[in-house]
Amino acid sequence: MALTSLWQDRHPRTSSEAGGPPVLEGEHDVVVIGGGLTGVVTALLLARAGRSVLLAEAEHLGAVTTGRSTAKVSLLQGTQYSRIAHRHPASVLRDYAEANREAQAWLVRFCEDHGVGVQHRPAYTYAHGAKGEQSLRAELDATRRAGLETEWVDDVPLPYPTRGAVLLLEQAQVDPCELLDALAREAVAHGVRILEGVRVRRVTGGGPVRVVSDQGTATADRVVVATNMPILDRGGFFARMHPSRSYGLALRTPVQPVDGMYLSADSPSRSLRDVPGLDGSSLLLVGGNGHKVGAPVSEQARIDGLREWTAQWFPDAEETHAWSAQDYVPHHALPFAGPVLPGSEQILVAGGYSKWGMTNGVAAALALTGRILGGRMAWGQVFEPWRFRELTGLLDSARLNGEVGLEMAGGWLRPVRHPGTGPALAEGEGEVRLDRPGAPSALSRVDGTERRVSAVCSHLKGVVRWNDAEKSWDCPLHGSRFGPDGEVLEGPATCGLGQR
């Protein structure tokens, strides 16, 4: 059974329309693919500017990363500025901060104007080990060079020992599903047509562009692919970033558990914030224990490890929700929003937010909208997909794609150890077995039902691994995930695993 985030539980959505299954059709100025924060803000901004916009979402709004985010709307972002500073000049650092500042201001203003709860909190990046302290010093330096008014504090108001923190006052936090609902209402009021339950399979042609699904085809002058990891192989975005999955817990606490938003600089990461309870009480949100999607780890052990850590330091907290989510970390450290290929202005893509998409997703929407309407953001070059990447991310991409190649080879060899027959699976187990040469199967037993599907990812033929917490098949190559029955859950794949 899928794990559900606190936010998704608070704002349940059903996949859609009372008048029958949704149909993808019509001619539009813009089709936006993806109903997370990036897609919905882009659709709203374009509709406000008078464009006719259709938004196609595979599941329902907020179904994937946005609805499972920790939702800190913060300019202080862990050690993100030192990561950027390591690869880019100071001007890029300043533009990145400016983009995030503008996006944060836009989002907070939207919340205030539309009755969406927003809490203002100090943000801390703190260290608990010597290595973390070293990273923290570098982060202080990078954030100051970026123009943030950060300061060093020795005493960090947390219940466990730390070695100091970088502090930035007056940041914000939200409920991402409450936010998304309000954005969607506003988008619809401006004429956006939102189709939920429509998975786009292909985007083809150029004048106009055709957006193809199993429920019909729509055409548009421009298409914005806001699926986080782009679903199009053109542009090779899947090779420029790696998918990182991490875990979240919500816990009821007798008093407000923390007075700020915290993230550790060292590994394993620990993320903390509070959430106002619906009955006036408080909740603690704990995140961390991340790893690459499809890594040879037990996802269940990662959640349990987070639980143990939380019980140690917040013994009075009582768990209400546990979940996991993934985001994409680009090798050159900068997000992207722009053409899928150089000069190809008809199809635009956005993503690569390194787990800081609450501001970067809005910045990407501002950049894409400016681009479509014929304007430019002053900081827009930071998001330009075809400017920095080849130069600054090439070595990292080559190294990481070497790792992807090794994973590809290993994935195909691994099933050799598990021939076609084997012991019956216990409830909740999954195993890749080699039924016949060159055709490994993914066998699972969930809720008493045994299923057998192809173990070969429909994206680019990685061999999937079993995720024992989410009961899903996860591809270690670029992060596509599939249910036990082979249906696509998320990632760049647009088709499910083959049936056996």
Ligand X SMILES: Cc1cc2nc3c(=O)[nH]c(=O)nc-3n(C[C@H](O)[C@H](O)[C@H](O)COP(=O)(O)OP(=O)(O)OC[C@H]3O[C@@H](n4cnc5c(N)ncnc54)[C@H](O)[C@@H]3O)c2cc1C
Residues forming the site for ligand X (CB under 6 A): 33-39, 56-59, 63-66, 69-72, 199-200, 226-228, 231, 246, 248, 287, 325-327, 351, 353, 355-359, 361, 494
Written as six digits, the tokens of 108 are 């907070």
Residue 323 vs 443, nearer CB to ligand X: 323
Please choose which of ligand FES, ligand X, none residue 70 contacts, taking the beta carbon within 5 to 8 angstroms, the exact cut-off set by kind.
ligand X
Instruction: Provide the CA 76 distance to its chain's centre, in angstroms.
Output: 18
Among 72, 83, 389, 478, which residue interacts with ligand FES (rule: CB under 6 A)? Answer: 478
Please choose which of ligand X, ligand FES, none residue 30 contacts, taking the beta carbon within 5 to 8 angstroms, the exact cut-off set by kind.
none
Q: Counting contacts by CB under 6 A, is residue 462 touching ligand FES?
A: yes
Cα(368)–Cα(376) distance, integer angstroms: 9
Please choose which of ligand X, ligand FES, none residue 168 contacts, taking the beta carbon within 5 to 8 angstroms, the exact cut-off set by kind.
none
Q: What is the number of residues in the chain?
A: 500
Residue 273 vs 478, nearer CB to ligand FES: 478
Instruction: Provide the CA 446 distance to its chain's centre, in angstroms.
Output: 26
Q: Counting contacts by CB under 6 A, is residue 64 touching ligand FES?
A: no
Residues 6+ apart with CB under 8 A from 419: 433, 434
Please choose which of ligand X, ligand FES, none residue 287 contacts, taking the beta carbon within 5 to 8 angstroms, the exact cut-off set by kind.
ligand X
Tokens 């009075």 -> residue? 316
Nearest Cα neighbor of 31 from 234, 214, 195, 230 is 195
434 membership: H or E segment, kind and range: strand 430-436
Among 339, 361, 492, 496, which residue interacts with ligand FES (rule: CB under 6 A)? Answer: 492
Please choose which of ligand FES, ligand X, none residue 401 contacts, taking the beta carbon within 5 to 8 angstroms, the exact cut-off set by kind.
none
Residue 7 vs 388, nearer CB to ligand X: 7
- Here's the x/- map for ligand FES, 237-266, by CB under 6 A: it reads as -x----------------------------
Residue 63 vs 156, nearer CB to ligand X: 63
Phi–psi pair at 56, nearest 5 degrees: -110, 125
Cα(253)–Cα(395) distance, integer angstroms: 46
Cα(168)–Cα(472) distance, integer angstroms: 38
Tokens 């082979």 -> residue? 486
- Here's the x/- map for ligand FES, 180-219, by CB under 6 A: it reads as ----------------------------------------
Cα(247)–Cα(446) distance, integer angstroms: 21
- Which of helix, strand or coil describes residue 318? strand
User: Is the torsion defined by CA of 393, 73, 4, 184 positive or negative?
Assistant: negative
Q: Counting contacts by CB under 6 A, is residue 60 touching ligand FES?
A: no
Burial zone of 391 (CB within 10 Å; 0-12 exposed, 13-18 middle, 19+ buried): exposed
Residue 339 vs 491, nearer CB to ligand X: 491
Nearest Cα neighbor of 249 from 219, 228, 270, 280 is 270
Cα(358)–Cα(68) distance, integer angstroms: 12
Q: Counting contacts by CB under 6 A, is residue 457 touching ligand FES?
A: yes
Please choose which of ligand FES, ligand X, none residue 477 contacts, taking the beta carbon within 5 to 8 angstroms, the exact cut-off set by kind.
ligand FES
Stretch touching ligand FES by CB under 6 A, among 65-73, 357-365, 437-445, 456-464? 456-464
Please choose which of ligand X, ligand FES, none residue 242 contacts, taking the beta carbon within 5 to 8 angstroms, the exact cut-off set by kind.
none
Nearest Cα neighbor of 196 from 221, 215, 168, 170 is 215
Please choose which of ligand X, ligand FES, none residue 361 contacts, taking the beta carbon within 5 to 8 angstroms, the exact cut-off set by kind.
ligand X
Please choose which of ligand X, ligand FES, none residue 457 contacts, taking the beta carbon within 5 to 8 angstroms, the exact cut-off set by kind.
ligand FES
- Which of helix, strand or coil describes residue 387? coil
Interface ranges with ligand FES (CB under 6 A): 238, 457, 459-462, 475, 477-480, 491-493
